[in-house]
């Protein structure tokens, strides 16, 4: 677990350094994920320890969003005054994005299979 | 114990990181049990329940969010390595990713643009002000990217953070209903759509559906984060012209 955690933090650190130096508005961990993915492709897969630690970390991914989510209490005033446009925009946009994306990929994949 | 020593103890504990950290884990533990009790029903979203519990406790005890976060930041910090760890399930889908590269790319572009434009259109139509609309536009991507985009364009980054979390919870709660209605049963299509619409919180939900849905959600979340940072600045002048804010 210790080695695997070091690998994950190491890739995050490299990602942070790259986004800082390049001045991109992209978070370091996302760059770190892309780099680790490339390394896994080159090395043909993660070791057993890295797999196990990652699965452990990802099995309760929801927990990690709780502290940031609780920050919603800082916006009570604006949420109270603009709740209707905000709630309607979030709901309509989320439903539309989910539906259109799923149907789009489903149709494109089926079309590709028919051609083969 | 008398009243004074109880309040003295509270003052002591609430000033330490230990309390915020423990409260986060306890609230999530309770939320997780409720989630299980309702057989993982999407409406019993564990993030939503835990956040409601914590906001209630913090409000009732007059504890400022910042003091709570001093402790909760240790959990928050793990988001970084967890995001890096998404590379592992992603690698598991390598063969399918190679085969599906074109459909995935086209879907991502369409889904990402709809996520931005539809939120702006509905918000503007119902009278949100322009600063709110800019804060709303990047709502479908992971918090740090959304905040950076909103800040660069004159939005309110901390409002964006709240809207991002709300979007993630909403996406996690409604995804299965939408797929059921549209009869989409393919795990790749389900996961990819969740990742575009509802970033990490959606991805956490997608992993509950299947490891495959989770991997495609992680891919969509990462790719949509990058694409949104490019698309939002480019789309906003068009959106301003099409849907005037009040």
Do A30 and B226 lie within an 8 Å CB cutoff?
yes
Residue carrying structure tokens 């990819």: B192
- Can you spell out the DSSP letters for B63-81? --HHHHHHHHHHHHHTHHH
Average pLDDT score over chain B: 90
Chain A residues touching B222 at Cβ < 8 A: 30, 33-34
Do A37 and B90 lie within an 8 Å CB cutoff?
yes
Q: Is the pLDDT of residue B246 over 60?
A: no
Nearest to A33 among B86, B148, B149 (CB): B86
Do A66 and B175 lie within an 8 Å CB cutoff?
no
Task: Pick the more confident residue, A94 or A47.
Answer: A94
Q: Which domain holds residue B26?
A: 3-77+87-244
Chain A residues touching B140 at Cβ < 8 A: 93-94, 97
Q: How confident is the model at residue B181 (pLDDT cuts 50, 70, 90)?
A: very high
Do A101 and B79 lie within an 8 Å CB cutoff?
no
Does any domain span residue B228? Answer: yes
Q: How confident is the model at residue B3 (pLDDT cuts 50, 70, 90)?
A: low
- DSSP 8-state class, residue B183: T
Nearest to B145 among A11, A25, A85 (CB): A25
A16 exposure class (CB count in 10 Å sphere: 0-12, 13-18, 19+): middle
The most confident of A34-38, A69-73, B149-153, by mean pLDDT: A34-38
**What pLDDT, in 10s, does the model give residues B73-111?**
999 899 889 989 988 988 888 888 888 999 999 999 999
Average pLDDT score over chain A: 90
Distance CA A8, CA A52 (A): 12
Who contacts B64 (Cβ-Cβ below 8 Å, separation ≥6)? B58
CB interface of B with A, residues 195-214, below 8 Å: 196-198, 200-201, 203-205, 207, 214
Contact between residue B212 and residue B188 where contact means Cβ atoms under 8 Å apart: yes
Predicted local distance difference test score (pLDDT) of residue A76: 84
Among A79, A65, A106, which Cα is nearest to B27's? A65
Does any domain span residue B134? Answer: yes
Does any domain span residue B98? Answer: yes
Predicted local distance difference test score (pLDDT) of residue B154: 87
Among A114, A1, A88, A4, which Cα is nearest to B125's? A88
Does any domain span residue B213? Answer: yes
Angle, helices B3-14 vs B17-37, to 10°: value is: 90
What's the predicted TM-score (pTM) here? 0.85
Nearest to A88 among B51, B84, B122 (CB): B122
- Long-range contacts: B232-235, Cβ < 8 Å, 24+? B232/B116, B232/B137, B232/B138, B232/B149, B232/B153, B233/B149, B233/B152, B233/B153, B235/B113, B235/B116, B235/B117, B235/B120, B235/B137
Task: Pick the more confident residue, B244 or B55.
Answer: B55
Does any domain span residue B82? Answer: no
Predicted local distance difference test score (pLDDT) of residue B11: 77
Does any domain span residue B43? Answer: yes
End-to-end CA distance of chain A: 44
Distance CA B112, CA B157 (A): 20
Select the residue from B49, B58, B77, B80 to test the A interface by mutation, using most A Cβ atoms within 10 A: B80
Predicted local distance difference test score (pLDDT) of residue B4: 73
Distance CA A8, CA B20 (A): 25
Taking the Cβ of residue B134 and every Cβ of chain A, the question of whether any pair is shorter than 8 Å is answered with no
Counting residues of chain B whose pLDDT is more than 70, the rounded percentage is: 98
Taking the Cβ of residue A42 and every Cβ of chain B, the question of whether any pair is shorter than 8 Å is answered with no
Q: Of A6-20, B78-92, B117-131, B191-205, give the lowest mean pLDDT range.
A: B78-92
Distance CA A81, CA A18 (A): 40
Does any domain span residue B109? Answer: yes
Contact between residue B200 and residue B168 where contact means Cβ atoms under 8 Å apart: yes
Does any domain span residue B214? Answer: yes
Chain A residue closest in CA terms to B198: A94
Do A26 and B145 lie within an 8 Å CB cutoff?
yes
Q: Buried (b) or exposed (e) across B138-148, using 16+ Cβ within 10 A?
A: bbbbbbbbbbb
Neighbours of B94 (CB within 10 A): 15
Nearest to B143 among A55, A68, A84 (CB): A68
> How many domains does one find in chain B?
1
Distance CA B160, CA A72 (A): 10
**What pLDDT, in 10s, does the model give residues B200-230?**
999 999 999 999 999 999 999 988 988 898 8
Who contacts A4 (Cβ-Cβ below 8 Å, separation ≥6)? A49, A50, A52, A53, A54
């Amino acid at each position: 677990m210790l080695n695997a955690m070091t690998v994950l933090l190491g890739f995050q650190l490299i990602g942070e350094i790259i986004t800082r130096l390049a001045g991109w508005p992209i978070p370091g961990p996302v760059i770190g994920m892309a780099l680790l993915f490339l390394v896994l492709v080159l090395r043909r897969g993660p070791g057993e320890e890295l797999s196990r630690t990652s699965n452990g970390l990802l099995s309760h991914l929801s927990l990690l969003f709780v502290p940031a989510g609780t920050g919603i209490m800082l916006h009570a005033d604006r949420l109270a005054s603009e709740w209707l446009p905000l709630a309607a925009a979030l709901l309509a946009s989320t439903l539309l994005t989910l539906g259109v994306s799923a149907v789009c990929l489903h149709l494109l994949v089926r079309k590709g299979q028919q051609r083969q | 114990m008398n009243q004074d020593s109880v309040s003295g103890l509270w003052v002591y504990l609430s000033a330490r990181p230990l309390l915020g950290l423990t409260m986060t884990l306890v609230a999530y533990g309770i939320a997780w049990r409720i989630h299980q009790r309702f057989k993982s029903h999407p409406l019993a979203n564990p993030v939503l329940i835990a956040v409601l519990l914590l906001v209630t406790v913090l409000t009732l005890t007059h504890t400022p969010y910042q003091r709570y976060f001093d402790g909760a930041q240790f959990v928050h910090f793990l988001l970084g390595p967890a995001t890096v760890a998404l590379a592992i399930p992603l690698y598991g889908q390598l063969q399918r990713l190679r085969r599906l590269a074109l459909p995935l790319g086209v879907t991502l572009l369409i889904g990402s643009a709809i996520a931005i434009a539809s939120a702006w259109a509905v918000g503007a139509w119902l009278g949100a002000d322009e600063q709110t609309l800019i804060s709303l536009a990047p709502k479908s991507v992971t918090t740090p990217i959304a905040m950076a985009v909103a800040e660069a364009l004159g939005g309110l980054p901390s409002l964006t953070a709240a809207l991002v979390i709300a979007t993630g919870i909403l996406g996690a709660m409604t995804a299965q209903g939408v797929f059921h209605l549209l009869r989409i049963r393919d795990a790749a299509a389900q996961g990819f759509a969740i990742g575009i619409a509802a970033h990490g919180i959606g991805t956490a939900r997608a992993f509950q559906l299947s490891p495959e849905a989770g991997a495609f959600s992680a891919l969509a979340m990462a790719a949509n984060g990058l694409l949104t940072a490019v698309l939002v600045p480019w789309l906003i002048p068009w959106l301003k012209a099409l849907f005037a804010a009040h």
